Structure 1
Amino acid sequence: MAAAGVPGDRKGILERLDSGEVVIGDGSFLITLEKRGYVKAGRWTPEAVVEHPNAVRQLHMEFLRAGSNVMQTFTFSASEDNMESKWEDVNAAACDLAREVAGKGDALVAGGISQTSVYKHHKDEATIKKIFRLQLEVFARKNVDFVIAEYFEHAEEAVWAVEVLKEAGKPVAATMCIGPEGDMHDVPPGECAVKLVKAGASIVGVNCRFGPSTSLRTMKLMKEGLQAAGLKAHLIVQSLGFHTPDCGKGGFLDLPEYPFALEPRVATRWDIQKYAREAYNLGIRYIGGCCGFEPYHIRAIAEELAPERGFLPPASEKHGSWGSGLDMHTKPWIRARARREHWENLLPASGRPFCPSLSKPDA
């Protein structure tokens, strides 16, 4: 199967999804750039788009080469309440970087906003909508292709975000950082999805905080909620690149390993191929990742769904399907691993004999 070339006219996000096309999102920025030395843990704000644009550009390029169809602006927590006077320059620079890289392939630019630091203390709708609107004005000026409200733990604030984003007249996606138990006010996933669609979102789902298997369980509940309400929307899932079966309602934030010792939990590329296939079978057509989701994870999605998409990403030129490249190895026991059965059935060891498999959340 050949790698994709660079197309001419780009179809919009809804045009792609309406036709049944698989859209592949991007992955981890904050966690990955923190590891690379460009983001400071704690506030997790994206000054790197101004301070280290080459680092952000490179990560965008890696995701594009791996198969991403969407370059999401690196604007997580880039709102006025988190960044004060820096917010406008950061949002503008993030849009420019995403657009520059998107132009090198068949990718769209999504302008992203996330939950505010204000909501937990002052649930003032007008104040919070004003914060969202400031970012939206930059996205409109930079003419992003669509907008996304991501990483919301409260349905109410997510609805406010969607209502503001609709003002731009562009397609709206909305993802909540919730698990099967629902949001932090105990609103079930199905009801969250219904609220988002009624507010105006055309694409709804989850992102971050939970691993692939948990995220898909939540998506199933969202889908069932929409069906019960007689509503239609496209579905999106962008899970962690970590396994988190032991976390509670707050997700991986409550695990003692967060954020500096999560490496033993990293999903393998084969785990992600399974995630992609299960997501597709659930009817999800916008599939990507969030924290811990590296470019090779995105490539795994693209490779698993290559039969449906009709092509492989450029990064697959250096990657044999299911380890097939190992058949050139000089050692016979390694050549024997050049088969799907080995990798699909492997239970990877952690190499840490005195460590537990699971943790107890701190909260």
Structure 2
Amino acid sequence: MRKQGLFFRARLLMTNPLMKLLSANGTLLADGATGTNLFNMGLMSGDAPEMWNTEEPGKIKTLYKGAVDAGSDVFLTNSFGANASRLKLHNAEKRTHELARVSAEIARDVADTAGRTVIVAGSVGPTGEIMEPVGTLSHALAVEMFHEAADGLKSGGADVGWLETISAPEEYRAAAEGFTLAGLDWVGTMSFDTAGRTMMGLTSADMVKMVDGLGDHAPLAFGANCGTGASDLLRTILGFSAQGPERPIIAKGNAGIPKYVEGHIHYDGTPELMADYAVMARACGARIIGGCCGTMPEHLRHMREALDTRSMDHPPALEEIVDRLGAFSSASDGTGDDEAPARRTSRRRRAS
């Protein structure tokens, strides 16, 4: 373990732009939602957002600039579903490399004209298939799909790969190999959306052990994204921190809880709530903090101001998270070691 820690600290001091900026700033603000923002620009349900990289490049540039102008230090490319499995649903499986590359090229232009250092993170989502032995997707084919996406992102100028919303450890490991084959440094998050676990049963402690076991394929940073609400995500971040990980932790929670209103999904998290979440995420141990579904530029502006002007000198207790951000979706974090409050205990207070 000591040898591994020394190796990781050596990587930390290398030249990856993300790690250099993190070392200089201490905490980085990532971006918000991709899908929510694109739906507001006219993307229709069922359409592939990645097609807009070539069909509506101006709107993708607007998406990226929205995050940068709001103060994000890191923003993700519009390439979440740029893999052969997902694009096959749109008869575009042969365009994986192209669509990933173009997403990064547009992002590179936005970052290079921002007037400050901004990191382009190449988004890579799950394949949408279940891996062997439960499903039919082989490890070799999964590695090939992730490699193709990562190579496209690297060709387009991404500073780092950003794996997100993964549920299965087998898929996380396959992606790790794919990034390594492409020669692209990467970070990776999983979604803990099933009573404190991923859909495939991993706890926060399980993820730390898995990441530590990846050796030369390991990410520069790891964490959680999406899931349910911001409260649940912070409980997962506390679970990561309790393991004493060497790598920086990423927190990218949804803007509140999704609600179906008049035919559309809305998230009830206000900019003020997300500002509280950002301050608390840092207190929980996260160093790269952003939003996921429902998070708009206005949320990011409040998060930026909160991270720059407010502090919290202690990791919040579970009761404090509930009080400020709302109830957890389940009674425990999946490990059986805690019992969370079922509802708010008092009127929500603002993180100081």
Task: Specify if TM > 0.5.
Answer: yes
Give the Å deviation of 1:45.
3.9
Measure, in 1, the Cα distance between the counterparts of 2:173 and 2:159: 21
Unaligned runs of 5+ in 1: 1-9, 245-254, 310-342, 347-363
Distance in 2 between the 1:295 and 1:144 partners? 22
**2:102 counterpart (81, 93, 103):** 93
Cα deviation for residue 260 of structure 1 reads: 4.6
Aligned residue number for residue 204 of structure 2: 189
* CA RMSD, Structure 1 to Structure 2 (Å): 2.5
Q: After superposition, where does 1:1-363 map in structure 2 within 5 Å?
A: 12-19=17-24, 21-38=26-43, 40-42=44-46, 44-83=48-87, 84-105=93-114, 106-119=117-130, 121-179=135-193, 181-199=196-214, 200-224=218-242, 226-227=243-244, 231-243=245-257, 257=260, 260-263=263-266, 265-307=267-309
- Contact between 1:155 and 1:195, CA under 8 Å: does it hold in 2? yes
Residue-by-residue CA offset, 1:237-265 (whole Å, 9 max, x unaligned): 11111326xxxxxxxxxx7x2995332x4
Q: Deviations over 1:108-143 (max 9, x none)?
A: 111121110233531310011100011112122223
For 1:126 and 1:117, the matched residues in 2 are separated by 16
User: Size of the alignment, in residue pairs?
Assistant: 287
Structure with the greater alpha carbon radius of gyration: 1
How many Å apart are 1:104 and its aligned residue?
Answer: 2.1
Q: TM-score, normalised by structure 1?
A: 0.73
Q: Partner amino acid for 1:138? A: G
TM-score with structure 2 setting the length: 0.75
> Offset at 1:198?
2.6
Structure with the larger RCO, 1 or 2 (CA within 8 Å, 6+ apart): 1
CA distance in 1 between counterparts of 2:237 and 2:77 reads 24
Q: Distance in 1 between matches of 2:99 and 2:175?
A: 19
Q: Contact conserved, 2:53 with 2:102, CA < 8 A, in 1? A: yes
The amino acid across from 2:255 in the alignment is G
Distance 1:134 1:168 in 2: 8
Alpha-carbon spacing, 1:55–1:143, altered in 2? closer, same or farther (3 Å): closer
Q: Counterparts of 1:129 and 1:344 in 2: how far apart (Å)?
A: 45
- In 1, the alpha carbon distance for the partners of 2:147 and 2:183 equals 13
1:267 Cα deviation from its structure 2 partner = 0.9
Change (3 A) 1:103 1:19: closer
**Cα 1:153–1:344 shift into 2, 3 Å:** same
Q: Distance in 2 between matches of 1:108 and 1:212?
A: 24
Unmatched runs of 5 consecutive residues or more in structure 2: 1-14, 88-92, 312-346
Which residue number corresponds to residue 354 of structure 1?
none
**8 Å Cα contact 2:102-2:156 kept in structure 1:** no
